[in-house]
Amino acid sequence: MGNKTFTIIKPDATRKGHTGAILAQINSAGFKIAALKMLHLSAEKAGEFYAVHRERPFYSELVEFMSSGPVVAAILEKQNAVEDFRTLIGATNPAQAAEGTIRKLYAASIGENAVHGSDSNSNALIEGDFFFNKLEQF
């Protein structure tokens, strides 16, 4: 048993067919999948999920992008999950992401950056509960 984090494989990555490779890389890095689903977010739901960024100049672009196609949401479990997952995915801007990280491998830009990862243990729980009810979390 470890800590939980939450991830979204974003529409750019699902569109380009990277879902399987990204999930395999997550598994290889030692994360257990505790919840998993593919869905298409409405603009309203995407806006709610990213409400913390409401005042940022990129908010409407972010909401439009996140509701532009299917995403894969997952809760992941591992010791030190939040920090280790952020290391695995790399910097928000793929131009600054380390070699071998998911964003370096699959992301095109800061807006279309392939994956989301929670930034704290408390946000991981909030974000996981946003997508999954209790019967869907293992």
Please report, as ranges, the residues that interact with ligand CMP according to CB under 6 A: 53, 58, 61-62, 92, 110-111, 113, 116
Nearest distance from residue 135's CB to ligand CMP, in Å?
A: 26
**Sign of the torsion angle spanned by Cα atoms 23, 24, 26, 32:** positive
**Both tokens of residue 7?**
């991830």
Q: Judged by CB, which is closer to ligand CMP: 70, or 111?
A: 111
Q: Judged by CB, which is closer to ligand CMP: 15, or 138?
A: 15
Nearest distance from residue 53's CB to ligand CMP, in Å?
A: 6
For 23, the 3-state DSSP assignment is helix
Instruction: Name the β-bridge partners of 117.
Output: 7
Q: Judged by CB, which is closer to ligand CMP: 60, or 138?
A: 60
Nearest distance from residue 61's CB to ligand CMP, in Å?
A: 6
31 phi, psi to nearest 5 deg: -90, 135
Length reported for the chain: 138
For 96, the 3-state DSSP assignment is helix
Is 116 among the residues known to form the active site? yes
Residues recognised as catalytic: 116
